[in-house]
Amino acid sequence: ELASAKALLPRHGGSAQVWTASVLFFQGALIAACLYGQWLRGALGPASRRRLHVGLVVLAGLAPIVWGEPVPGAWPALQVAWALALGVGAPFLALATATVVLQDWLGREDGYELYAASNAGALAALAAFPLVLEPLLPLDAQFRLWRAGYAGFALLLAYCAARGGPGSSPARGPEEAWGCRELSWILLAAAPCAGLLAATHALSLDLAAGPLLWSVPLALYLATLIAAFRRPPWRPAPLPLALAAAGLLWLALFGGLGLLSLAAPAWGQWPLRLLVLAGRLGLGLGALLVLALACHGALASSRPAEAASAPRFYLCVALGGCLGSAAVAVAVPVLGRHTGLLGLDWLPAALLAAAAWGLLRPLPAGVLAGALSAGAAFGVGSFLAGPARGAGTRHAGRSFYGVHSVIERDGVREFFHGNTRHGVQYLDAGRRARPTSYFHERGPFGELFGLLGGSFGAVGVVGLGVGAMAPYARAGQSWDFYELDPDVVGVARQEFTFLADCRAATRVITGDARLQLLARPAACEDPSSLACRGAYRAAAYDVLVLDAFHSDALPMHLATREAVRLYLARLAPRGIVLFHVSNRFLDLRPMFAGMAAELGLSAASKRSERAPGEEEAPGGLDPSTWVALSPDPDRLRPLIDSLGWQDLALGPRRAPWTDQHASLLSALF
């Protein structure tokens, strides 16, 4: 699951929703696996079904891993599901049938220990992947290792088929109708899955989308399954109490910090932001742990004792997982399209859990109302702490690529992507064309364009935002903006005037920047030759700016060695590739220093800070870190000699990211 989702990240702009859509696909595949197990058990005799199943497992393992090509204009979540179905659908389906099939083959009356054991194995692999496999092995080698593991699984399965008991023969009488018991199983399985994706989405927005961060919530989720289904089980407090405690804690922390920042705007500085961020991420994981422990404990205690009902139980668990995943992956983005509330992801988890407990055990109306109120607290608390709040909100929405909002206050209009401000414009006509925030004249970006901007003819920008770089454009220049999210393009044109006021010729190109640049003609190696002068003028950028963040996360596929080689192929001989690498947790400069040394580039970096005693002002300078690369060894010398940029050749280096080998651990240690 982790390797497949990572392989699909570059095809969808590094969006955090790639993992959400992947989990939804895998949950759907689990349903298909349970239905297959039920059919197999009822349609064939023990010996026949063993032979058939082993044969299908072997055939599935022979299927090639082919992702297919993205379909332009199709819904991204469906594209992710289709790619996974083509690439790993068959072998995953074969693996997903293991618990149901083995319980039947081994003649186990209580096969739920197999369920706990399989989740323990998954937890061990989950820890090994981001800590060992991802840092040490390229993606191709990871899939080769996985194929070897799959071959071992097939051999063990054949061994179990050969030595298994006589197998069970299902009764042919009328099947018991589904009722409240089955519905409660579905809801109890749905709530933790919804919480899993909500917590993962928050981590990916603020840090980066990748297996290291995906693994943390998933590990908590699997650990609670193991605790609930092991013998003897470990079960926490009843669900209403756990849910109420988590919801009220969420409301208290987020609401308190949010109201504090509203009452004292001067506190909207980095210490408070980091406190809110740490609280949100930590509490999100804590809420997931409490919710999953309570729901999985209730699920395990209500499981059927008779082996004949186990397939139905597993099917309900799979249906619930798919329902919870769909609530966050599909329902929240569609129903909440016009809201920027980040906490909306948590609302399905809390409400599903409360509804499940109400079905499982009759409760006094006051207890159930308290649980539902606690569920609502998740959304309310996040609303109070999120950027989209108050009468100044002009626009709020979400798409597959993130949550965004536009807020008007203190004489400026601000654009937020997730929790991070990505653009500011003054409202008064006299200052609205003035560069602000990360692009302020006193910041590294403003320094570079102030010193060298007159020599630029063609400028490429990856990441439109609101077009806040456009004030540096000059008459006679051409500026191309590449933007992944069509909704962001609409916000930039409708809520901000940077593009309309731009003095250069501008184009906005929608789609993943790497794919769009790949389709663009390469610059000529010898631009002075008569044969390729026209192609050179059409293809080469004098500067290519990379500022394509999702909230505070840099899409890793835009900062790999292969990506930089692509940028260089679209660059003029004395061109510059400029990366915005600000991040609250990661220092990417050593990685870019290693990349520059490997590719023979000159590299320089600078971080801007406010002057001592200078407070944050609307539209003022925001701290930011930039890295410049150039194939010309002298191109960056004026920045280093005159403006205090650091020559990265003199600093620490780390191995560069590649398309096959990019790990967050390499940027942390």
The residues spanned by each domain of the chain are 2-166+178-385, 442-610+618-668
Question: pLDDT: is 488 or 358 the higher one?
Answer: 488
Element (H or E) spanning 280, and its range? helix 270-301
pLDDT at 527: 44
Average pLDDT over residues 563-582: 93
* Summary mean pLDDT of the chain: 78
Average pLDDT over residues 178-184: 81
Residue that has been written with the tokens 């949010």 in this structure: 258
pLDDT at 264: 40
Among 100-114, 169-183, 520-534, the range scoring the smallest mean pLDDT is: 520-534
pLDDT at 572: 93
Q: What is the CA radius of gyration of the chain?
A: 27
Average pLDDT over residues 482-498: 92
pLDDT at 307: 64
- Tell me how far apart the alpha carbons of residues 512 and 50 are, in angstroms, rounded to a whole number: 46
pLDDT at 387: 47
Helices of type H across 97-138: 98-105, 112-128, 134-136
Percent of the chain past pLDDT 70, that is, above it, reads: 73
Q: How confident is the model at residue 532 (pLDDT cuts 50, 70, 90)?
A: very low
Closest CA to 629 of 548, 566, 537, 552: 566
Closest CA to 279 of 171, 193, 386: 386
What tokens were used for 341?
């509330």
CATH of 2-166+178-385, one of 3.40.50, 2.60.120, 1.20.1250, 1.10.3120: 1.20.1250
Q: How confident is the model at residue 342 (pLDDT cuts 50, 70, 90)?
A: low
Is pLDDT of 564 > 90? yes
Average pLDDT over residues 491-518: 91
Among 71-75, 84-88, 320-324, the range scoring the smallest mean pLDDT is: 71-75
Ramachandran category for residue 318: left, alpha or beta (phi over 0 → left; psi -120 to 50 → alpha): alpha
The answer to whether 390 touches 407, Cβ cutoff 8 Å, is yes
Is pLDDT of 363 > 50? no
- Tell me how far apart the alpha carbons of residues 490 and 617 are, in angstroms, rounded to a whole number: 27
Q: How confident is the model at residue 192 (pLDDT cuts 50, 70, 90)?
A: confident
Task: Note whether 2-166+178-385 and 442-610+618-668 share their fold.
Answer: no
- Tell me how far apart the alpha carbons of residues 35 and 39 are, in angstroms, rounded to a whole number: 6
What are 30-65's pLDDT values in tens digits? 899 888 877 877 777 777 778 888 888 899 888 888
Highest averaged pLDDT of the listed ranges 51-55, 237-241, 501-505, 524-528: 501-505
Question: Residue 383: which residues within 8 A CB-CB, separation 6 or more?
Answer: 258, 341, 343, 389
What are 148-160's pLDDT values in tens digits? 999 999 998 888 8
pLDDT at 36: 85
What are 209-227's pLDDT values in tens digits? 677 778 888 888 888 888 8
The answer to whether 159 touches 290, Cβ cutoff 8 Å, is no
Task: Specify burial of residue 516 (Cβ count, 10 A radius: 0-12, 13-18, 19+).
Answer: middle
Closest CA to 31 of 231, 320, 434: 320
Is pLDDT of 658 > 70? yes
Question: pLDDT: is 260 or 424 the higher one?
Answer: 424
Is pLDDT of 242 > 70? no
Highest averaged pLDDT of the listed ranges 46-55, 283-292, 334-343, 653-662: 653-662
Among 75-79, 185-189, 247-251, 534-538, the range scoring the smallest mean pLDDT is: 534-538
Topology of the domain comprising 442-610+618-668:
Rossmann fold (3.40.50)
Is pLDDT of 594 > 90? yes
Question: pLDDT: is 593 or 330 the higher one?
Answer: 593
Interhelix angle 46-62/98-105, rounded to 10 degrees, is: 150
Q: Long-range contacts of range 644-649, CB-CB < 8 Å, 24 or more positions apart? A: 644/606, 645/444, 645/604, 645/605, 645/606, 646/604, 646/605, 646/606, 647/603, 647/604, 648/589, 648/592, 648/593, 648/596, 648/603, 648/604, 648/605, 649/593, 649/596, 649/597, 649/602, 649/603
Closest CA to 25 of 89, 87, 119: 89
What are the Cα distances from residue 273, in Å, to 342, 387, 426, 649? 15, 11, 23, 33
pLDDT at 40: 78
What tokens were used for 664?
């967050």
pLDDT at 39: 82
Average pLDDT over residues 163-183: 64
The answer to whether 60 touches 91, Cβ cutoff 8 Å, is yes
What is the identity of the amino acid at 643? L
The answer to whether 593 touches 653, Cβ cutoff 8 Å, is yes
What are 293-306's pLDDT values in tens digits? 878 888 888 888 77
Output the 3-class SS for 381-393: HHHHHCCCCCCCE
State the DSSP string of 179-235.
-HHHHHHHHHHHHHHHHHHHHHHHHHHHS--SHHHHHHHHHHHHHHHHHHHSSS---
Among 249-253, 323-327, 352-356, 551-555, the range scoring the smallest mean pLDDT is: 249-253
- Tell me how far apart the alpha carbons of residues 308 and 288 are, in angstroms, rounded to a whole number: 32
Among 352-361, 521-530, 535-544, the range scoring the smallest mean pLDDT is: 521-530
pLDDT at 194: 86
